[in-house]
Structure 1
Amino acid sequence: IIGCQVRREPLESTERYTRWINNLTEEQLLTQVFTSHGPTVIMPTWFCSREWFFHVGKFDEGGKGVPEDLLFFYKHIQKGGEVFRVNHCLLLYRYHPQAATHSVLEGTIWSHRVRFLEDRVLSSWTSFTIWNAGKQGKKLYRSLSPANRKKVTAFCDVDEKKVTKGFYTFEESEERPKPKIPVCHFRDATPPFIICVKLDLTGGAFETNLNTLNLKEGLDYYHFN
């Protein structure tokens, strides 16, 4: 799939998303496919051969509420497809509240994202740390398959309260005793990480913390924010 950079209309709409979609590096076009932003090149800009389109399997035309572009993109990746972006703004991408994308439920997208992460990354990891001991990190943990939950060695965070408490109890578990997962400071955590912290929201504080660890994206961590 080949896409391009875009300009939003109105200009100030979805600023974080627009910065993300326009500034991903060549490597990040493949490593950041798990985030809540969706495909790393925006669907209205896609080009691919007709042969490849039919090989991937067309779009899921299940109707309103089906994230057909996301599902096609995932199948494209699973079949070994690559992702490229032309670094020129060739599309005016209009935002409006009635857009079909708003009809897709967040829970639907979440489920597809978790399964894709499990298939593409977690299936080959024997253990990992979830970066974020808050709401999103715990939600990811609870959404994982039982086999992948057992691979979670710890949560990590910067919040002293969470770190001081020292553990997260999986209350919904039917196991007895209920699993307790350690919570530690990110500097004391062991990679690889699945990061459940949103990018471009902390004035650079999170990104600075991550950079201090000298890790390689796509090997030592993936973003799932």
Structure 2
Amino acid sequence: MRPRGDPAAAPHVSIILPVHNAERWLHECLRSVLQQDFAGPMELSVFNDASKDQSLRILEEWKAKLEGSGIPVVIGGHESPYPRGVGYSKNQAIAQSSGSYLCFLDSGPHGCPEVLNTVTQDDVMMPQRVRLQLDAATRHPTSGVPEDLLLFYNHLRKGGGVVRVDQSLVLYRYHPDAATHSVLETTIWTHRVRFLEERVLPRWAAFTIWNAGRQGRRLYRNLSAGARRKVVAFCDVDENKIRKGFYCYEDSEEAPKPRVPILHFRAARPPFVICVKLDLTGGEFEANLRSLHLQEGRDFLHFS
């Protein structure tokens, strides 16, 4: 390993580790902290959430090893009869940390009393993780991560479902200092396009993009080459776009340039990826869609 910075210096990075009954994974997890190739000052901040196994003993054992290698370790926790959940534990680990940047690591199963059947991933960091993640954070200081969106996607990947609750559950406070402003629209868009390609498009041999305007063309351009080849047409109600007859992807490296037909929606074939925002046409778009008697999920999906 490369020599670390002055261990007495204020840590630049705090690795945040919530722990609950993690003895099966904890040795490997903590070993991955020791093996980081990041040369600057960093610390490990651990919160032990009422573990009943040997987790605390393992933490104390690794505290000596890590601090002997120049990585300070802060261990907090509680001994209540029941764990308070991974969210609580992360917040406590953050509160006792002192780094300028946070790097989150999970140690194994961590039941949350508010959410049944919730399990976090038992993580092992690659040796370059802290170094590369810090480099990305410092080079792109205003580019945040859409954590809620990624959590939702992972929930679906693991077979989770969605249940609609018609009552208001959260008041979202929008203000200039909100963390949401750190997440670029292009970042969210990229994640959404990749998830579309991962979860939906493999089921379809061909599809139509509903909207020959800016958003529909943007989706087409941002698809992978294989997914673009599945697009058989754009559809729209704008007579000017339909009269033009096609969209030519001028930036394509293919020769000849792809030319995608633009059809009236009644002449187009499902399935559709719909890039039209709801509630913006006085109900006209919604009425057009209902008139086709299609089934959402099978014949179309809303992308915008």
Say whether the fold is shared (TM-score over 0.5). yes
User: Structure 2: which 5+ runs fail to align?
Assistant: 1-113, 124-132, 138-142
Residue 54 (str. 1) matches residue 120 (str. 2): yes
Q: Secondary structure at the match of 2:167?
A: strand
Which residue pairs with 2:130 in the alignment?
none
Q: Secondary structure at the match of 1:48?
A: coil
Residue 72 of structure 1: how far off its partner (Å): 1.0
What's the TM-score once normalised by structure 1's chain length? 0.73
| Identity level (%) | 63
What per-residue deviation string (whole Å, max 9, x for no partner) do you get for residues 143-199 of structure 1? 111111000000000000000010000101111111110000001000000000011
What per-residue deviation string (whole Å, max 9, x for no partner) do you get for residues 105-140 of structure 1? 011111100000001100111000000001100100
What is the alpha-carbon distance in structure 2 between the residues aligned to residue 169 and residue 154 of structure 1?
A: 11
Which residue pairs with 1:77 in the alignment?
156
Residue 86 of structure 1: how far off its partner (Å): 3.1
Residue 55 of structure 1: how far off its partner (Å): 5.0
Which residue pairs with 1:38 in the alignment?
none
4+ aligned runs moved over 4 Å, structure 1: none
Q: Secondary structure at the match of 1:126?
A: coil
Which residue pairs with 1:223 in the alignment?
302
Larger radius of gyration, structure 1 or 2? Answer: 2
Structure 1 counterpart of 2:259, from 164, 180, 191:
180
Whether the aligned pair in 2 keeps the contact of 1:191 and 1:221 (CA below 8 Å) is yes
Which residue pairs with 1:125 in the alignment?
204
Which residue pairs with 1:101 in the alignment?
180
Give the aligned residue type for 2:120: F
The structure whose RCO (Cα within 8 Å, separation 6+) is larger is 1
Whether the aligned pair in 2 keeps the contact of 1:56 and 1:76 (CA below 8 Å) is no
Whether the aligned pair in 2 keeps the contact of 1:56 and 1:75 (CA below 8 Å) is no
Whether the aligned pair in 2 keeps the contact of 1:56 and 1:72 (CA below 8 Å) is no
Q: Secondary structure at the match of 1:85?
A: coil
Residue 89 of structure 1: how far off its partner (Å): 2.4
User: Structure 1: which 5+ runs fail to align?
Assistant: 1-46
What is the alpha-carbon distance in structure 2 between the residues aligned to residue 160 and residue 107 of structure 1?
A: 30
Give the aligned residue type for 1:200: D
Residue 200 of structure 1: how far off its partner (Å): 1.1
What is the alpha-carbon distance in structure 1 between the residues aligned to residue 185 and residue 177 of structure 2?
A: 16
Whether the aligned pair in 2 keeps the contact of 1:169 and 1:179 (CA below 8 Å) is yes
Give the aligned residue type for 1:167: F
What's the TM-score once normalised by structure 2's chain length? 0.54
Alignment of 1:21-170 (within 5 A): 48-49=115-116, 51-55=117-121, 65-170=144-249
